[in-house]
Amino acid sequence: MSMPTSQNTSPAIAYPDEPTVLVERPSPAVAEVVLNRPRQRNALSLEMIAMLRDRLQEITADSSVEVILLRGAGGCFCSGLDLSSIDPQQAPDELIYPALLSVHAQLARTDQAIVVALEKAAINGGAALALAGDLVIAGETSFLRIFELSMGLRIPMNLAWLASRYGSSTAMQLILEGKPWFGEDLRRLAVASQSVPDGDVLATARQVAAHLGAYPAGAIRANIALMKQLRGPMSEESIFERLPSSTGAER
């Protein structure tokens, strides 16, 4: 499958009164889920997490959707959690964790293929969303970074995806070193399926999603469901079911 080499421009920055999560349907089989707080580098507010949960619930229940393309508006994937959106009088972990767990559990349960367009950055909680991708298209200078261990925090969502999908060596490198891992590094570690020029990330991810969406109806979903069944206790779904109902959350 040939990939674009021309420069691609991400959609214009949205106005503040627009929804924090958008859903676009370029074809019946493909749903684009757009994190839509570009001025905040798509940092996850409580409102945004709740809206993402609701939109994913609708999409994962739609039998016509074979592929979910997850991306950020304005050319950045996700810079993590926006703690400024939380009342300082309330415990952030107890507010954020259940909502985040619901989002990730839906992604873990679905038998739709998940394509991630990793533009610019995926940090901490944003990294966990990127790791949910079955196919991650990363820009050459885009990076994934998990540095919460240096802050003394637990990282259940990132750990759950890493435990279900990658060997311990890869997982330990990503979480212990705390450094940015750029596009080609991510491809070498098999976290990203492709590393492409920065301006081509979204166009490439859309082409991959369209290619998958053209497969015979039901083929992707049936085979992903079978793969999870064969993996048993190490499938994403099983691992997320074993996470505690309350603990520290990614930031």
Can you tell me the mean pLDDT for 12-33?
82
Query: Cβ(214)–Cβ(29) under 8 Å?
Result: yes
Q: In what order do the strands lie in the sheet with 181-182?
A: 121-123, 143-145, 181-182
Q: Considering the chain, what percentage of its residues have pLDDT values greater than 90?
A: 78
Kindly report the CA angle at 212 between 210 and 213, in degrees rounded to 5? 60
**What average pLDDT does the chain have?**
89
What pLDDT score does 127 carry? Answer: 98
Residue-level pLDDT at 207? 98
Lowest average pLDDT, out of 4-8, 178-182, 210-214, 241-245, goes to 4-8
What is the 3-class SS of 77-125, one letter each residue? CECCECHHHCCCCCCHHHHHHHHHHHHHHHHHHCCCEEEEEECCEEECH
Q: Which CATH architecture has domain 21-241?
A: Alpha-Beta Complex (3.90)
Task: Tell me the domain boundaries of the chain.
Answer: 21-241
**Residue 28 confidence class, pLDDT cut points 50, 70, 90:** very high
Kindly indicate the confidence band of residue 248, based on its pLDDT and cuts at 50, 70 and 90. very low
Structure tokens at 183: 């596009």
pLDDT value of residue 90: 60
